[in-house]
Structure formats: C-alpha cells, structure tokens
C-alpha cells in the first residue's frame, strides 16, 4: 500500500488524501469518517477535512444516509487514473506554450553538477527524452541497458541515434580510458545543444550537465572519434 500512496502523492494528492482514498478503495463499500480514519491512519481531527478535499477534486463522493449520517464512496481507480492522465496532459500542453514565453535568456549557458548516480542517470534520461533531431550516446553496458528504452523511443520518433557501448571492444581507446579513470564513463549529447558527462563506480555517480557550446562540440567529437 505504501507504494500506491507514494505514487498518488506524485500525482498531486497529499499524504492524507492518498491514504484516505486507498482506504475507501480497499473497503469495497462506503465508509464514514471514523472508519476512514481507523483504516487509513489519518488523524480523526483532520479526516473530514481530508475527505472534503477528495470530494472537491472528484476522487470521492458524499453519500447522505438516514439520520444525517454521511458516507464516502471513492471514484473507481480506473476513472481516477484516466482523469489524472487527462488533467496532466492538459497541463503539459498548456505549459509547453506558456512557459517559454516567460523564460528570460540565460546570461550564461545552463550548467550544473550531478553528485550521485540517481541524479546522473535521471538527467541523462532527460537529455535523451528531449532530443528531437540527433542523439549521441556513449556508455558502458550497465548504463546502456538502463537508457535503452528511452533511446528506442527517440529512434521511433525520428531522432538520428548514434550509440557507442564501451567494454564490448577492449582495443578501443575510449574503453581503456574509462577503465583507467576508475569508473564507467557516460556521455549523452542531445541535438548538439546539450550534453551530460559523468562517471559511475561502486554505486556512486558524479558528472556535469551543460549547454556550453564548446563542451557540447567536444563531447560530440569525442563520441564520433570513439566510433571510428
């Protein structure tokens, strides 16, 4: 249940809202506030406020019973997820047109460091997913496997993909350089506009993302040279 609650939170519900919704779905029948609090762990002092928020967002409905009692019934999960998908898609479509209009040109090319493996791989995935015309990737088998689904999607949408997998041909200079550095090199260039360069070893990761044109050019030429 914890995973479901966490995923609902990622989609915009508060922790209490997610717990209350899961309790309603798991009951199979309408519940009153006391029952929701007991099943979900939401404090009784806030359970009616939480249920009111679920009703406001359309994730639950009030059922007025005899003698003024109020029960709560959840929107079926399939309907809730479809509604969330539509709302997310609508928001994304709106932001794609509105956000660029308020963005000020950066005084310097965006650059930031990445200090762990998760953030490094997530940012690499961002670069792959954002590519629209050309994608250059140089990675070791472990990272190649993780990025492959996103790379395949890029190819399907017409992106020209050039990929190098280190470690498969030991005589290449790039492979030896990666081994000598004490880590697995990862380089991802998107549309010759942005680049992620990093390394991974023993569960740790480090690297840099930048749109600096000189660094992007250097990385692109490096991958092209390794492929020769």
Per the CB < 8 A criterion, the answer to whether 48 and 70 are in contact is: no
Looking at 89-93, 116-120, 164-168, which range is the least confident one? 164-168
Per the CB < 8 A criterion, the answer to whether 60 and 21 are in contact is: yes
Is the predicted pLDDT of residue 206 greater than 50, yes or no? yes
pTM score over 0.75: no
How many CB atoms are closer than 10 A to CB 167? 16
Is the predicted pLDDT of residue 177 greater than 70, yes or no? no
Is the predicted pLDDT of residue 34 greater than 90, yes or no? yes
Per the CB < 8 A criterion, the answer to whether 114 and 208 are in contact is: yes
Is the predicted pLDDT of residue 226 greater than 80, yes or no? no
Between the CA atoms of 103, 104, 108 and 110, what dihedral angle is there, to the nearest 10 degrees? Answer: -10
Which domains occur in the chain, in start order? 2-78 (1.10.10.10), 111-227 (3.30.870.10)
Is the predicted pLDDT of residue 172 greater than 90, yes or no? no
Is the predicted pLDDT of residue 173 greater than 50, yes or no? no
Return left, alpha or beta for 172; rule: phi > 0 is left, psi -120 to 50 is alpha, else beta: beta
Phi, psi of 30 (to 5 degrees): -60, 145
**For position 181, what pLDDT does the model report?**
59
Q: Is 180 exposed, middle or buried, given 0-12, 13-18 or 19+ CB atoms closer than 10 A?
A: exposed
Per the CB < 8 A criterion, the answer to whether 195 and 112 are in contact is: no
**For position 69, what pLDDT does the model report?**
83
Report in angstroms the alpha-carbon separations of 180 from 105, 112, 166, 183: 39, 25, 13, 8
């Amino acid at each position: 249940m914890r995973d479901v609650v966490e995923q609902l939170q990622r989609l915009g519900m508060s922790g209490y809202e997610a717990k209350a919704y899961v309790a309603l779905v798991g009951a199979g029948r309408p519940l009153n506030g006391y029952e929701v609090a007991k099943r979900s762990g939401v404090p009784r002092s806030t359970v009616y406020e939480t249920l009111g928020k679920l009703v406001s967002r359309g994730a639950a409905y009030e059922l007025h019973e005899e003698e003024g009692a109020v029960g709560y019934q959840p929107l079926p999960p399939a309907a809730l997820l479809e509604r969330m998908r539509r709302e997310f898609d609508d928001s994304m479509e709106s932001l794609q047109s509105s956000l660029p209009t308020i963005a000020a040109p950066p005084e310097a090319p965006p650059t930031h460091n990445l200090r762990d493996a998760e953030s490094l791989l997530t940012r690499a995935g961002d670069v792959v997913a954002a590519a629209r015309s050309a994608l250059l990737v140089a990675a070791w088998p472990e990272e190649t496997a993780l990025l492959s689904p996103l790379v395949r999607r890029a190819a399907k949408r017409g992106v020209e993909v050039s990929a190098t997998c280190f470690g498969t041909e030991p005589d290449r200079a790039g492979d030896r350089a990666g081994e000598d550095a004490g880590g697995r090199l990862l380089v991802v260039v998107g549309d010759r506009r942005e680049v992620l360069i990093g390394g991974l070893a023993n569960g740790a990761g480090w690297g840099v993302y930048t749109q600096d044109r000189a660094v992007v050019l250097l990385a692109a030429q490096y991958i092209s040279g390794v492929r020769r």
